[in-house]
């Protein structure tokens, strides 16, 4: 599914903290809505999500940048939330965001390089090398044996320093074991489960430079040296993941997911560009599905090589752009964008598969008449170049929602009428052998 946002103006009317949607009773499982609950954590922004080992709790890392009593403030904290009810259990401050849990489920490591007890959340240790305290964290992960933290980031002021850094931290001593400056920028890191390699993204140039080249770099975990350039492109790399069985490496390139075989790290599959907003990916524990986040939450079946489900929710914000995770029991998916966190029922993707193979070209508007925001859904049966535009009743172009190539499937666009006068409008969809139109009434 493809999402694109055209906002003439966007106003969030509900700033209530933790607005909750009731959880259906267990015996309604087959009729569960896509969302279990949604939380509004304004004014904090969600920057990461994790699940407890049994999936009963969601660990939500947030950041606040703003003014408190006239003082400019930046702080992080973690919300511990009950997955079933959506109730907040407690909050933890001063540790940074939760990033990764050890495979024995005993320890959690944070963005501020704290080592926590995974049950009590007590700080057990922290990074001891004071000269690295100014290091600007970007991402971290654990090696397969849990002995080391691998972290990428910028030393000092990344606006002036063209080199980024790679750290290897001993989890027993919390001492830096390896540290290298590397020319160019690195923002993401993922480690293979066989303990041989890890992968980072890389781009040339300093901040805001033009004509950047992006790459996936394969590093030898023991020698701490690059052994291969896996992929080169000009598209942004926004997420890197290894599958739990180490058979696949997946990466999001500018809205397109590329899958590599870990035997030789050659590209074997591509999930077509479904949304320019695609930011995050995660792979199910059984390595059957890739979850795509950003714009909306979608499920891709790896073996069948097709999109099988798109989750829907009541609010109009895109989802999964800031954070995306699935619990190991394959029950829930947590997706977050800005200050909203939504928990989804993954079972819906397995029991209510949306078959898009027999679609005809149709366009629907919901709601209609419009009082605020409306979803414009295009379903197309063949790949095609489409133009989707809104006209007033005199034929004057009001908005062009999309122009470009689309794969077979459902594609959703939002039209915000906050500044649009009341009246009758027409949504037109044109393409090769396609000419669709439908009337829209704006009534506020």
pLDDT tens, position by position, 328-385: 888 899 998 888 899 998 988 876 444 444 446 788 887 888 887 787 888 887 778 8
Q: Where are the beta strands (DSSP E) in 318-432?
A: 323-326, 332-337, 340-345, 362-366, 373-380, 384-392, 397-406, 409-416, 423-431
Residue 394 pLDDT > 90: no
pLDDT score recorded for residue 123:
96
Residue 137 pLDDT > 50: yes
pLDDT score recorded for residue 350:
76
Q: Which residue has the higher pLDDT, 211 or 234?
A: 234
**Backbone dihedral angles phi then psi of residue 425, each to the nearest 5 degrees:** -130, 165
Residue 60 pLDDT > 60: yes
Taking the model in full, what pTM does it have? 0.70
* CA distance linking residue 365 with residue 135, whole number of Å: 49
* CA distance linking residue 344 with residue 289, whole number of Å: 15
Return the bridge partners of 117, or none: 107
Per-state percent for the chain, helix, strand, coil, to nearest 5: 5, 55, 45
pLDDT score recorded for residue 158:
44
pLDDT confidence band for 18 (50 / 70 / 90)? very low
pLDDT tens, position by position, 151-194: 998 765 444 555 788 889 999 999 999 988 888 888 899 999 99
- Cα 131 to Cα 128, 134, 166, 228, 337: the distances in Å are 9, 7, 14, 31, 34
Average pLDDT score over residue span 131-135: 58
pLDDT score recorded for residue 370:
85
Return the bridge partners of 137, or none: 153
Domains of the chain by start residue, with CATH: 2-351 (2.130.10.10), 362-442 (2.60.40.1930)
**CB contact at 8 A, 315 and 304:** no
Residue 24 pLDDT > 80: no
* CA distance linking residue 342 with residue 312, whole number of Å: 11
pLDDT score recorded for residue 360:
65
pLDDT confidence band for 132 (50 / 70 / 90)? low
**How many Cβ atoms sit within 10 Å of the Cβ of residue 167?**
24
Average pLDDT score over residue span 62-91: 87
User: If you average pLDDT over every residue of the chain, what do you get?
Assistant: 80
Average pLDDT score over residue span 204-222: 76
């Amino acid at each position: 599914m493809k999402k694109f946002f055209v906002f003439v103006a966007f106003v969030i009317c509900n700033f209530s903290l933790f607005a909750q949607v009731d959880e259906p009773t267990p015996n309604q499982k087959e009729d569960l809505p896509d969302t279990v609950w949604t939380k509004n954590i304004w004014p904090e922004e969600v920057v990461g999500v994790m699940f407890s080992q049994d999936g009963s709790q969601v660990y939500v890392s947030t950041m606040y940048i703003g003014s408190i009593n006239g003082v400019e403030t930046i702080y992080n904290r973690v919300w511990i939330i009950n997955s079933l009810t959506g109730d907040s259990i407690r909050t933890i401050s001063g540790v940074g965001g939760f990033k990764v849990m050890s495979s024995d489920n005993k320890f959690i490591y944070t963005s501020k390089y704290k080592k926590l007890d995974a049950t009590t959340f007590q700080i057990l240790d922290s990074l001891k090398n004071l000269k690295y305290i100014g290091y600007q964290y970007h991402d971290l992960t654990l090696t397969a044996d849990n002995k080391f933290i691998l972290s990428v980031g910028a030393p000092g002021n990344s606006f002036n320093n063209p080199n980024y850094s790679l750290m290897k931290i001993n989890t027993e001593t919390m001492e830096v074991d390896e540290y290298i400056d590397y020319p160019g920028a690195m923002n993401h890191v993922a480690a293979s489960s066989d303990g041989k390699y890890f992968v980072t993204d890389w781009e040339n140039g300093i901040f805001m430079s033009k004509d950047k080249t992006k790459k996936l770099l394969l590093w030898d975990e023991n020698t701490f040296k690059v052994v291969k350039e896996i992929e080169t492109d000009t598209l942004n790399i926004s997420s890197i993941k290894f599958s739990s069985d180490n058979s696949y490496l997946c990466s999001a390139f500018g809205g397109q997911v590329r899958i590599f075989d870990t035997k030789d790290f050659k590209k074997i599959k591509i999930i077509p560009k479904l949304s320019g907003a695609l930011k995050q990916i995660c792979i199910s524990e059984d390595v059957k599905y890739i979850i795509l986040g950003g714009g909306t939450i979608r499920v891709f079946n790896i073996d069948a090589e097709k999109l099988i489900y798109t989750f829907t929710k009541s609010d109009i914000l895109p989802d999964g752009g800031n954070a995306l995770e699935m619990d190991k029991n394959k029950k829930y998916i947590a997706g977050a964008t800005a200050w909203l966190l939504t928990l989804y029922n993954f079972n819906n993707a397995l029991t209510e598969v949306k078959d898009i193979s027999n679609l005809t070209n149709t366009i629907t508007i919901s709601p209609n008449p419009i009082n605020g925001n409306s979803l414009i859904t295009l379903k197309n049966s063949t790949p095609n170049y489409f133009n989707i535009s809104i006209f007033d009743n005199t034929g004057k172009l009001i908005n062009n929602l999309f122009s470009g190539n689309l794969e077979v499937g459902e594609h959703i666009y939002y039209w915000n009428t906050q500044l649009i006068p009341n009246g009758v409008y027409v949504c037109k969809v044109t393409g090769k052998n396609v000419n669709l139109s439908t009337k829209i009434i704006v009534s506020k």
